[in-house]
Amino acid sequence: MRNRLQKAFAGVHAEAALKERTLERIYAPAKPRKRARPLIWAAACLVLMACIGSGLFFIPVSAIGIEINPALRLKINRFDIVIGVEALNKDGRRIIEDTNLMFSEYSAAIDALLADSKMQAYFEQGKDMEIYVECDDEQRCTRMLERVEGCVGSEGNVTCHAGNGSGHGHSAGKQSGEHCRHHRHRGGSEE
Amino acid sequence: MDRYADMVRRLCLIHLKNQADSEDVFQTVFMKYVLSSAVFENEEHEKAWFIRVTINACRDLIRSFFRSRTVPLEELIDLPAEESGTREVLGAVLELPEKYRDVVYLHYFEGYTALEIGNLTKKNVNTVYSLLTRSKKLLREKLGGDEDA
């Protein structure tokens, strides 16, 4: 069997043409590798991710309403960024004309509103401010309410409360569901 | 190239069942040799390098999704018509499970011992002995004849 195997394998040779093509490949000048296809795939993935990302970015998942006399509503996305500012009355329109709140983080937007001189004028008149957080996700609601309360700090008569968007006079959309679950006065206990 | 070309071609033959894949691995092995910075102590060391690199390149290609279709032995190697005995023996080797083929080639044609084959293929020497024994039995069943004559 050994002899037969040796004879059989000895009959197999690397063909001259194969050796020639191999030498040609070895000594051929290096060509830059074509990477067009991976690049196309990478670009397509980027476009897809951008579409999905921007889609998610511009979907509001919660809202913060602010009422003193001006009434405003900030639409917030899942990344806690303000993606819409809505004036709910004439005074509200005056406030948002002069203050750019779009694409800022919601706590920064509330800080900016509270620091606004026109808003300060209402505080000086001794008016009460109401801030409400609307959200379907209870955990998010609680977290946002805590941050909003943190923003309010030692401002005048401010009431903060949160719920799933139902039952508030000015809230647009999300009209179904239970009434506000959390209702806190600044520094007070949960009702 | 002439020194190892036939050996690389034979190793490709026992692993890859089509011409295109064989050529691809053949060229890859020599390309790796040219680009390699390995320093060989002697000819045996260099030969062992070629065996290892060829077997690994064949295995990589076998695992690859882009592996080409298989073809009959007649298309695989250009053998003269009168070499029907050779074709029969090669056919019997190619019909063996893949794990036996390296061992058969390295032992019967290249003359390596079980210990050397174990070192080359990173297999336990007892495993190599078992593979040799089983492959002898399978080949004898297919080809007939005595064991090592």
Q: Report whether pLDDT(A191) > 70.
A: no
Residue B62 pLDDT exceeds 70: yes
The C-alpha atoms of residue A105 and residue A94 are separated, in whole angstroms, by 21
Instruction: Supply the pLDDT for residue B131.
Output: 92
User: Confidence class of residue B50 from pLDDT cuts 50, 70 and 90?
Assistant: very high
Q: Average pLDDT of A160-170? A: 57
Higher local confidence (pLDDT), A75 or A165: A75
Asked if the model's pLDDT at residue A182 lies above 60, the reply is: no
Interface of B with A (CB under 8 A): 1-2, 5-6, 8-10, 13, 23, 26-27, 30-31, 34, 77-79, 83, 85-86, 89-90, 93, 104-105, 108-109, 136, 139-140, 143, 145-149
Nearby residues of B8 by Cβ (< 8 Å), 6 or more positions away? A14, B25, B26, B29, B30, B50, B54
Task: Write down the pLDDT at residue A24.
Answer: 85
For the whole prediction, is pTM greater than 0.90?
A: no
Mean predicted lDDT score pLDDT of chain A: 76
Q: Tell me which residue has tokens 């297919």.
A: B142
Check residue A175 and give its pLDDT: 34
The answer, for A14 touching chain B at a CB cutoff of 8 Å, is yes
State how far residue B6 is from chain A, nearest Cα, in angstroms. 5
Q: Decide if pLDDT at B65 tops 50.
A: yes
Which pLDDT score is estimated for B121?
86
Cα separation, B29 vs B8, whole angstroms: 8
With vertex at residue B127, the alpha carbon angle to CA B124 and CA B129, rounded to the nearest 5 degrees, is 115
Give yes or no for residue B77 having a pLDDT over 90.
no
Domain ranges in chain A are 1-31, 60-190
Q: What pLDDT shows up at residue B53? A: 92
In angstroms, the separation between the Cα of residue A20 and the nearest Cα of chain B is 10
For strand A129-135 and strand A158-163, is the pairing parallel, antiparallel, or unpaired? parallel
Q: In the prediction, which pLDDT does A177 show?
A: 31
Q: Does residue B49 have a pLDDT over 90?
A: yes
Chain B: residue nearest A6 by CA? B109
Task: Compare all CA atoms of chain A with the CA of B110 and give the residue at the minimum distance.
Answer: A6
B9: nearest CA partner in chain A: A14
> Given this model, what pLDDT does residue B130 score?
92
Shortest distance, CA B87 to any CA of chain A (angstroms): 7
Residues A145 and A184: their CA atoms lie apart, in Å, by: 9
Number of other CB atoms surrounding residue A102 within 10 Å: 14
Q: State yes or no: pLDDT of A173 exceeds 80.
A: no
Q: Is B86 close to A7, i.e. CB distance below 8 A?
A: yes
What pLDDT is attached to residue A172?
Answer: 37
In the prediction, which pLDDT does A180 show? 35
pLDDT band with cut points at 50, 70 and 90 for residue B126:
very high
The average pLDDT across A144-167 equals 70
Per-residue model confidence as pLDDT tens digits over A46-105: 988 888 877 788 888 899 998 888 888 999 988 889 999 988 888 888 888 878 888 888
- Interval B79-117: pLDDT, tens: 554 456 777 888 888 888 888 888 999 998 989 999 999
Q: What is the pLDDT at residue A154?
A: 60
